[in-house]
């Protein structure tokens, strides 16, 4: 038996609402997957762990493949013990394969010793169980220590059995317990030195000491200020000295020195847990779907921040808390969400939740206040055991099945079907681009809430009271109504905000002031004006996204043509397109066919080959486009050549679409080589507003 892959699903996941280990194994034994799942569960139970769920399935649907590959899923309660039990179970079965007698008693004895070393002290275990009984979210910060977090964000308490009397965040205790402090700093997405945190060895002049006074770091470098302030906030400090070391991405936190006032808050812990009506929870909105997640997440977060809440937001644009950038890049998974929920600053969390994060780590929260499911279409199929759109919908529905209120797209059959999976007591709010949508009308007739578009105006019905929110064309992100998908995203945002208790005035103010451009929301329908032509930059990479983007581009092209002179024909729409190579052949070909149907000329380029021969993905897209007929098609090895050729092909009045999965600079750099003044104008339009 060979263990090929292993992941810890730390929260609710595709298989179970409880944490699980998922592994891919290879074995010649019949039913090896079922044997491994059962044995791993048995070994944990032998250590006193209350685990029940297990599952095994063939990972390769081709039954003729030898040796067979299995996907095995087993519940765990302690990560290190669960991993060790899986490894021990695999070794016991491997011994059987070799014709040896497996030593089960020895394996159990070893695992029991490990379990004993990981066990919480009795007092901490009692607090954990009490909080869980009350419905308060509980997180064990590290299995190598007994530090617990009870609740989220600004409502959280921390608990450590042997800690002296302290404040609710255990600030004084953590300043002494350096290893636990280190765990919290890492959780907050801060870099720390890799060497011994207890006895660090430093070179003279290597350390930088930064003062934080009244929550503000006294230093000229913004990056240094951000790191120092975050370290202080994480530990509940407004005044501190933060020692930093040089780091590759950002400064590393080497030490935190402070003398906070004494506090007796910990004495009130149990009473506070029992009397807190919020159960330690802050409002959390989770957003999922195939397309539109980032824009909708940022829309909602902007409106929440504008309404006066210290907002924690995680999206593909990074992590921000109260306007401060905590992390960059794709932050749509478990650890990013946990960082937002763990920050004592966070009053309200808005979390973009992607398929990859759900499949690789599970949800970071047991439930959310509002879950938004925007749409489901064929993307990322054939990966991680998800082969059909129906399976993909089930993955994405995890966000709404854990929600108190589920916001569902009534125009998408997969989203409508997700209502059947909602938890008992949860309610649904539908949104639709159509005033006569049958699902919405039936829901309203039953007294439900909904948001819909009627005569280009966003309408809201809440508790059977209908209100006019605002004209969709007034929302900047909709490009005067041409970006129909951003009208749909605005409807979803309206529904989520209304379900969270925001007024129509607050919702309108948020949508009206939300800016979606190359600086605030890069690669999401960024429109650049270059005199007589327009460039649209977008992250589109699947059929549904390209079809939606074409609607915007075609509308802009019609406007370009009409603006030149009365009676002049609309401009053409040329598109530079791609899709990652880890998509299935059929999906790539479908993307090509969709693009050929919607654009006048295609410039197909190879982006991320992801296991394919370089150029293969672009060729499959181009072949799919040619098979459907229509557009003229060209293929390229890289983005820059495709962009340059398309740009030179454009005529006055044309619109050029560039589907880019990297950054705005990719467009600017490509144009600079052939038209430096145009590149300068692009860079100016992409720059943040001052």
Please say if the pLDDT value at position 64 is more than 70.
Answer: no
CB 178 within 8 A of CB 198: yes
Q: Report pLDDT digits (tens) over 257-311.
A: 999 998 999 999 999 999 999 999 999 999 999 999 999 999 999 999 999 999 9
Average pLDDT over residues 155-173: 92
Per-residue confidence (pLDDT) for residue 65, from 0 to 100? 72
476 class by beta-carbon count within 10 Å (0-12 exposed, 13-18 middle, 19+ buried): middle
Pairing between strand 157-159 and 573-577?
Answer: unpaired
CA–CA separation, 74 and 90 (whole Å): 13
For 140-154, 406-420, 493-507, which range has the lowest pLDDT when averaged over its residues? Answer: 140-154
Pairing between strand 157-159 and 216-217?
Answer: unpaired
Q: Report pLDDT digits (tens) over 495-544.
A: 999 999 999 999 999 999 999 888 888 988 999 999 889 999 998 888 88
Average pLDDT over residues 451-458: 97
Per-residue confidence (pLDDT) for residue 195, from 0 to 100? 62
Average pLDDT over residues 568-595: 90
What confidence tier does 567 reach under pLDDT thresholds 50, 70, 90? low
Per-residue confidence (pLDDT) for residue 566, from 0 to 100? 47
Tell me what percent of the residues of the chain surpass a pLDDT of 90: 77
CB 261 within 8 A of CB 236: no
CA–CA separation, 538 and 530 (whole Å): 17
Per-residue confidence (pLDDT) for residue 336, from 0 to 100? 95
Please say if the pLDDT value at position 114 is more than 50.
Answer: yes
CA–CA separation, 532 and 654 (whole Å): 8
Average pLDDT over residues 249-261: 92
Please tell me which residue, 67 or 284, carries the higher pLDDT value.
284
Per-residue confidence (pLDDT) for residue 203, from 0 to 100? 59
Provide the terminal-to-terminal Cα distance of the chain, rounded to the nearest Å. 60
Average pLDDT over residues 220-233: 93
Q: Which domains does the chain have, with CATH numbers?
A: 2-118 (3.30.1360), 122-197+204-273 (3.30.470.20), 282-513 (3.40.1190.10), 526-686 (3.90.190.20)
Q: Report pLDDT digits (tens) over 167-226.
A: 999 999 999 999 999 999 999 999 999 865 555 555 556 789 999 999 999 899 999 999
Please say if the pLDDT value at position 560 is more than 60.
Answer: no
CA–CA separation, 550 and 50 (whole Å): 53
What confidence tier does 465 reach under pLDDT thresholds 50, 70, 90? very high
CB 660 within 8 A of CB 539: yes
Pairing between strand 148-150 and 157-159?
Answer: antiparallel
CA–CA separation, 79 and 452 (whole Å): 45
What confidence tier does 380 reach under pLDDT thresholds 50, 70, 90? low
């Amino acid at each position: 038996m060979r263990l090929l892959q292993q992941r810890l699903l730390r929260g609710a996941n595709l298989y179970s609402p409880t944490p699980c280990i998922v592994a891919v194994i290879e074995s010649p034994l019949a039913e090896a997957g079922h044997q491994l799942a059962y044995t791993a569960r048995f070994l944990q139970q032998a250590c006193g762990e209350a685990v029940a769920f297990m599952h095994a399935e063939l990972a390769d649907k081709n039954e003729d493949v030898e040796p067979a590959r299995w996907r095995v899923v087993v519940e765990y309660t302690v990560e290190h013990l669960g991993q060790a039990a899986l490894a021990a179970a695999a070794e016991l079965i491997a011994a059987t394969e070799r014709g040896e007698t497996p030593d089960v008693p020895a394996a159990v004895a070893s695992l029991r010793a490990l379990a004993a070393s990981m066990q919480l002290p009795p007092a901490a275990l009692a607090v954990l169980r009490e909080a869980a009984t009350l419905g308060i979210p509980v997180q064990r910060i590290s299995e190598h220590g007994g530090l617990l977090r009870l609740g989220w964000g600004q409502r959280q308490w921390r608990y450590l059995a042997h800690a002296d009397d302290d404040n609710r965040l255990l600030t004084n205790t953590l300043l002494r317990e350096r290893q636990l402090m280190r765990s919290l700093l890492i959780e907050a997405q801060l870099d720390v030195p890799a060497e011994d945190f207890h006895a660090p060895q430093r070179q003279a002049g290597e350390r930088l000491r930064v003062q934080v006074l009244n929550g503000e770091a006294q230093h000229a470098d913004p990056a240094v200020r951000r790191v120092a302030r975050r370290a202080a906030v994480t530990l509940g400090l407004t005044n501190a000295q933060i020692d930093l070391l040089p780091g590759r991405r950002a400064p590393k936190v080497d030490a935190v020195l402070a003398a906070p006032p004494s506090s007796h808050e910990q004495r009130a812990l149990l009473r506070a847990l029992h009397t807190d009506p919020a159960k330690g929870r802050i409002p959390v909105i989770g957003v999922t779907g195939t397309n539109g997640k980032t824009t909708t997440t940022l829309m909602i977060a902007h409106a929440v921040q504008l309404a006066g809440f210290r907002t924690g937001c995680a999206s593909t644009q990074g992590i921000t808390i109260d306007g401060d950038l905590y992390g960059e890049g794709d932050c749509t998974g478990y650890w990013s969400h946990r960082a937002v929920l763990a920050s004592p600053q966070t009053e309200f969390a808005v979390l973009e939740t992607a398929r990859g994060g759900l499949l690789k780590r599970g949800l970071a929260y047991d439930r959310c206040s509002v879950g938004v499911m925007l749409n489901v279409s064929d993307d990322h199929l054939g990966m991680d055991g998800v082969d059909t759109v129906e399976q993909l919908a089930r993955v994405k529905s995890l966000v709404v099945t854990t929600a108190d209120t589920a916001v569902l797209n009534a125009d998408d059959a997969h989203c409508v079907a997700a209502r059947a999976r909602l938890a008992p007591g949860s309610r649904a709010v539908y949104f639709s681009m159509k005033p006569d949508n049958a699902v919405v009308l039936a829901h309203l007739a039953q007294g439900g809430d909904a948001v819909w578009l009627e005569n280009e105006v966003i309408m809201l019905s809440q508790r059977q009271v209908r209100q006019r929110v605002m004209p969709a064309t007034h929302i900047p992100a909709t490009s005067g109504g041409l970006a129909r998908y951003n009208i749909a995203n605005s409807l979803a945002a309206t529904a989520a905000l209304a379900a969270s208790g925001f007024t129509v005035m607050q919702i309108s103010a948020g949508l009206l002031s939300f800016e979606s451009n190359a600086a605030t929301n890069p690669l999401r329908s960024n429109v650049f004006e270059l005199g007589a032509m327009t460039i649209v930059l977008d992250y589109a990479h699947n059929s549904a996204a390209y079809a939606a983007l074409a609607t915007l581009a075609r509308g802009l092209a019609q406007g370009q043509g009409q603006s030149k002179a009365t009676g002049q024909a609309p401009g053409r729409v040329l598109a530079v397109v791609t899709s990652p190579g880890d998509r299935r052949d059929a999906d790539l070909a479908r993307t090509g066919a969709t693009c050929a149907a919607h654009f006048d000329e295609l410039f197909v380029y190879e982006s991320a080959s992801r296991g394919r021969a370089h150029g293969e993905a672009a060729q499959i897209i181009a072949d799919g486009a040619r098979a459907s007929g229509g557009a003229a098609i060209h293929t390229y090895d890289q983005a820059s050549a495709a962009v340059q050729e398309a740009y030179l092909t454009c005529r006055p009045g044309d619109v050029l679409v560039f589907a880019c999965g990297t950054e705005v600079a990719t467009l600017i750099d490509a144009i600079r080589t052939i038209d430096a003044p145009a590149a300068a104008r692009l860079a100016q339009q992409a720059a943040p507003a001052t």
